[in-house]
Amino acid sequence: MPRRRMVQMVFVALTIVVGTSVADVGMAHHTAQAQPGTACAALASDERPLLQEITDLSAPEAPGALTLCLLDVPAEAVQQAVILGVDSPELFRSAKAAAIDRLAVAGVDLCRVAVWEGRGARVLPLTLEDQLDLPVTCPPRLIAADSGALEWLQPVMDSVARLRDLTSAQLGWQPNRALTVRVFTDIDAAIPAFQRYVGTAVRGETPEHIAQTTRSGFTWHVINTTEPGWGTVMLINLTRPADRTLAVIARQVAVDYTGFALSGIGGTATSSPQWYRQGFDDVQAERNAGSALGSLSLATQQARAGTAAPLRELSRIEDWTAHRLADGDASVQARCQAAVLYLIEHYGVDATLQLLRDNRGGDFDRFADLLKTLTGMDIDAFNAAVDTWLQSAPATLTARGAAVHLDVLVSPGMTLGEATVTFDRAISCGGGRMVVAGTKVTVPITLNSDGSFTATGLIGNATVTIEGRLTGGAVTGSVRFLNPATGCDTGALTLA
């Protein structure tokens, strides 16, 4: 097989699409559309018009010329590529490489091709890597799903760009798949859209539960390669007015983009257990979001009460979904996150992520073998070890100031934890402004060898910076609230 020519592309500004119109992001060049009666025309419809047909596509393993059909999916602002005449995954991959070269020469924006399909005499066992991956780095495309979302596209764009850069530096991964980011502010538009996207992509979800979680502000990263496939989509949920802040946008983007990155690193969304992927997703998202949900505290309470769902029952997505419906999202999220935090504390972030890399193209059994190689434990022993670890966590430590207090929960190994800042009474921050009583934010922390830690949390459009130290079973430090837009600044508030 000849060496595949890699088409190089650098990041450009994120594309903004208003509504579902794609007139401003069309292909650089169009070839003549296929005439009725051709092989590709049979695939086309009003919802998927045919853009281009290449009938002389050659691949080394092919007995003759293959046909490439490029279809538009305007409702999703993406395109689909279908290769006809392929009867094996190996031939599909060779033909896809040849098709990419042909489309690139023709000036087609490869990052708009969200899904690749192969059709022949039998159904091909293609992986998500086969169907989604591209030899280019793709900038996300942002869509305002309703008119109210237009004013929030720039903050979401800024947050996506920040997560893209952080993820690249932390995980060593560049986005090589098409990604559409849909931003919602209208609940009446969001619920049916979320039901369609999530209901298609997540087995076991119900329309009623999707509607409930959408009203609660849930966001999703979903993948669909079935017809009509949209590829990879992030659903940013700003339907609650209180959520239209930099803090919530950062959290939602961090969760969704991390899921996007992990599926890209792992090659597929299902080869690794759900507890691992969701747990790593949440840990990484909190690391970059500037806020946490208090999952370590909740997981510790569950372990001590014996109410946590076993990890074995959180592996397959349908079982994970069933526990979410029965136990609540926070409960399941806390358990998954605690399992990954255990791995990080004992083996480090790199070794924990390597499980995903090493299982690329694998399955649950292979992941179980990799986990046992790393930890020496099967899933049940590992589940018990996580319980024991959580049960041995030190008690929460509290430092108090005149108007604010800091609660710190650390892991048994004293390497990581979460810190919660609470303003107990209103406090002046200059210019006649006040930080209101009850203002609260939780952030993940990483402890240095001397017990010191620094963290910055986001709350609304402001930041809360924490500098602390754990020594002799006590915590000390300072807290500062700053809103650059309003000038509200408490300065450093000492805690002891």
CATH code for the domain in which residue 445 is found: 2.40.128
Q: Is residue 130 part of a domain?
A: yes
Q: Which pLDDT does position 268 carry in this prediction?
A: 64
Across the range 180-204, mean pLDDT stands at 94
Does residue 382 share a domain with residue 406?
no
Look at residue 256 and tell me if it is in a domain: no
pLDDT: is 227 or 263 the higher one?
263
pLDDT at 122: 86
With a pLDDT cut of 70, the percent of the chain lying above it is: 92
- What pLDDT band is residue 227 in, cutting at 50, 70 and 90? confident
In the listed set 393, 423, 456, which residue is the last one of a domain according to the structure? 393
In a domain, 146, yes or no: yes
State the chain's mean pLDDT as an integer.
89
Do 403 and 359 have their domain in common?
A: no
CB 133 within 8 A of CB 177: yes
Domain boundary among 364, 393, 422: 393
Shared domain check, 9 and 155: yes
Lowest mean pLDDT among 14-23, 58-67, 235-244: 14-23
pLDDT at 410 over 60: yes
CA dihedral 338, 339, 343, 344 (to 10 degrees): -30
Q: Do 409 and 464 fall into the same domain?
A: yes
355 lies in the same domain as 444 = no
Picking from 368, 393, 418, the residue at the C-terminal end of a domain is 393
- Structural domain including 170 reads 1-248
Q: Which two tokens stand for residue 266?
A: 């792992």
Contacts of 240 (CB under 8 A, 6+ apart): 215, 217
Terminal CA-to-CA distance of the chain, rounded, Å?
68
pLDDT of 486:
93
Q: What's residue 25's pLDDT?
A: 27
pLDDT, tens digit, 9 for 90 and up, residues 434-473:
999 999 999 999 999 999 999 999 999 999 999 999 998 9
- Same domain for 348 and 310? yes
> What pLDDT is attached to residue 71?
96
Cβ neighbourhood burial of 3 (10 Å; 0-12, 13-18, 19+): exposed
Cβ atoms of 481 and 429 closer than 8 Å: yes
Band of residue 378 on the pLDDT scale cut at 50, 70, 90: very high
Tell me the C-alpha distance between 83 and 97, whole Å.
11
User: Are 306 and 452 within one domain?
Assistant: no
Condensed to tens digits (0 to 9), the pLDDT of residues 322-344 reads 998 899 989 999 999 999 999 99
Residue 290 lies in a domain: yes
- Has residue 70 been placed in a domain? yes
In a domain? residue 368: yes
Structure confidence by residue, pLDDT tens digits, 20-79: 322 222 222 233 344 445 789 999 999 999 999 999 998 887 788 899 999 999 999 999
Asked, for residue 288, whether it belongs to a domain, the answer is yes
Check residue 67 and give its pLDDT: 95
Helices (DSSP H) in 106-243: which residue ranges?
Answer: 128-132, 153-171, 187-201, 207-215
Tokens of 421: 């800042």
Quote the pLDDT of residue 361: 77
Q: Are residues 33 and 98 in the same domain?
A: yes
What's the token pair of residue 380?
């049940």
Flag whether pLDDT at 372 surpasses 70: yes
Domain count, the chain: 3
Residue with tokens 């915590």: 475
CA distance 488 to 471: 32
Residues 243 and 339 in one domain: no
One domain for residues 43 and 110: yes
Q: Does the predicted model carry a pTM greater than 0.75? A: yes
Maximum mean pLDDT: which of 151-160, 227-236, 266-275: 151-160
Looking at 376-415, list the stretches that DSSP marks H as alpha helix, in order from N- to C-terminal side: 379-391
What's the confidence (pLDDT) of residue 37? 52
**263 lies in a domain?**
no
199 shares a domain with 127:
yes
Percent of the chain past pLDDT 90, that is, above it, reads: 76
pLDDT above 60 for 16: no
Give the list of residues 6+ apart from residue 274 with CB closer than 8 angstroms, or none. Answer: 314, 315, 316, 317, 319, 320, 336
Q: Do 491 and 347 share a domain, yes or no?
A: no
